[in-house]
Amino acid sequence: MTEVPEAAAVGPPPAAAAERPTVLAVDGLNTRFDTPEGEVCAVNDVSFRVREGETVGIVGESGSGKSQVFMSVMGLLAANGRATGSVKFRDQEILGMPPQKLNRIRGAHMSMIFQDPMTSLNPYLTVSRQMTEVLVQHKGMGESDAEKRSVEMLDLVRIPEAKRRIRMYPHEFSGGMRQRVMIAIALLCQPDMLIADEPTTALDVTVQAQILELMHDLKTELNTAIVLITHDLGVIAGLSDRVLVMYAGNIVERGAVREIFYGPQHPYTEGLLKSMPRLTGTEQTELPSIPGQPPNLQHLPSGCNFRPRCAYAFDRCRVEEPAQRDIGPGRAKACHLDAL
């Protein structure tokens, strides 16, 4: 599949996105897991680019492989996982890099925050220790300089009384505060790219909004590229420039955020959008949903993976797996239908 240059998006385009240098280039990424029941293919021939300063949303249901793409990128796959293909960070191949070399990149030039802030911080170490160690490791700072910088970073993510709180342990922080700490840790070395894997899923709604607002502000302040992995289209809409929709390990649709929201071209994307709760003007009481379950990755249906759940499915969908094809500038989909 080919990478489509980004241009002429609807509305105010992300300024000349195509000209911006590429931070991350993923080409033909496959991620497989050996399980006692056989091999599971979690990511299937996925290719995309992340450019400087842009925000890319990755959306899909649980098990769509969206997290595993970035676990592969970060070298964090479980022991039974294997990633093949190519992942280039700043033109340097990092897939299959030995951990010692990869450690010079992750945490420093690209960093990641995770879904569950309650367990993602080490409960046995002070916040200070968990922050300063990053600066000591990557920047060779001394403890006191590192702590000063860490306090500044906590201020930046709006943790009140950062000087005092940095001495505390994670259990003395609320969930939202812990996610702020995670963000602060991830941004300590001013990375080129921040991967946020469901950063707000475990938080309650008001805190979600605060974290998203924070990420929005940081994005403009620090010009860090952000990859936002989520199943929540609302989160994507507020922050992303571009969206990749994933289903059963494949990218099924991609495009600028407005195009995806106002003119979805893949039945799955359309289903996702329809099943978002709306607050305005419908008499409907029941929330529409996509019928059925995401497929078992070991027993994928013939033809198109989405076919058993697709309202538009026709004969060709049963026999032929749809290839990704360009449907406009920066737009592509993997579906046999010409128009929705």
Q: Binding residues for other proteins, per CB under 8 A?
A: 74-76, 79, 99-100, 102-108, 111-112, 114, 116, 119-126, 129, 133-134, 137-138, 169, 171, 182, 185
d(CA 107, CA 137): 9
Least separation in angstroms between CB 195 and other proteins: 9
Least separation in angstroms between CB 220 and other proteins: 24
Query: Which residue, 31 or 111, has its beta carbon nearer to other proteins?
Result: 111
User: Beta strands 55-59 and 242-247: pairing type?
Assistant: parallel
Query: Which residue, 107 or 271, has its beta carbon nearer to other proteins?
Result: 107
Place of tokens 């990859």: 227
Q: Report in angstroms the alpha-carbon separations of 234 from 35, 138, 237.
A: 34, 35, 5
Least separation in angstroms between CB 187 and other proteins: 12
User: Beta strands 38-51 and 22-35: pairing type?
Assistant: antiparallel
Query: Which residue, 56 or 108, has its beta carbon nearer to other proteins?
Result: 108
Least separation in angstroms between CB 102 and other proteins: 7
d(CA 324, CA 336): 9
Query: Which residue, 100 or 144, has its beta carbon nearer to other proteins?
Result: 100
Least separation in angstroms between CB 112 and other proteins: 5
Least separation in angstroms between CB 40 and other proteins: 18
Query: Which residue, 97 or 337, has its beta carbon nearer to other proteins?
Result: 97
